[in-house]
């Protein structure tokens, strides 16, 4: 089983729509959780960290469910510029190093 799993999509949504992505992780000892955005042929850029209490940044809301080991990202009022691949990532501290492990990413295409 992969450490971090995501539905690859693509999710095709019209402008203004609300879209949600889920991500599951296999190791219950994972400590930190993130959503990254990656545009085509570019490096990933941190979108937001994810906390159990949930956190919101403008149109983006992230949530962590430790019991079920999943992370979600909700995008409200989608814009054309939101089109990208969204990667969830977790940090697992192995004792000698903490490693950031990525899911395969979910591709979002926002259309007119």
- Give which of 41, 8, 10, 7 is closest to 109, Cα–Cα: 10
Q: Site for another protein (CB under 8 A): which residue of 43, 53, 95, 112?
A: 43
C-beta closer to another protein: residue 39 or 77? 39
Q: Site for another protein (CB under 8 A): which residue of 45, 59, 66, 79?
A: 45
C-beta closer to another protein: residue 4 or 73? 4
- Residues 107 and 10 sit within 8 Å (Cβ to Cβ): yes
Q: Site for another protein (CB under 8 A): which residue of 42, 59, 66, 79?
A: 42
- Torsion angle of alpha carbons 38, 111, 12, 34, nearest 10°? 30
Question: How many other C-beta atoms can be found within 10 angstroms of the C-beta atom of residue 54?
Answer: 13
Q: Interacting stretch for another protein, rule CB under 8 A, among 13-21, 39-47, 60-68, 71-79?
A: 39-47
66 in contact with another protein (CB under 8 A): no
> Of 88-107, which residues contact another protein (CB under 8 A)?
96-105
CA separation for the pair 63, 74 (Å, rounded): 9
The position carrying tokens 């400590």 is 31
Residues lying near another protein in the complex (CB under 8 A) are found at 4, 8, 41-46, 87, 96-105
């Amino acid at each position: 089983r992969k450490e971090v799993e995501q539905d690859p999509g693509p999710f095709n949504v019209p402008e203004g729509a609300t879209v949600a992505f889920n991500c599951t992780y296999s190791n219950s000892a994972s400590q930190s959780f993130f959503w990254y955005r990656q545009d085509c042929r570019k490096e990933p850029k941190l979108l937001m960290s994810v906390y159990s209490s949930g956190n919101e940044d403008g149109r983006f809301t992230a949530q962590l469910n430790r019991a079920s080991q999943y992370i979600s990202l909700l995008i409200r009022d989608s814009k054309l510029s939101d089109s990208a691949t969204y990667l969830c990532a977790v940090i697992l501290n192995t004792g000698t190093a903490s490693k950031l492990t990525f899911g395969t990413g979910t591709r979002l295409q926002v259309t007119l």
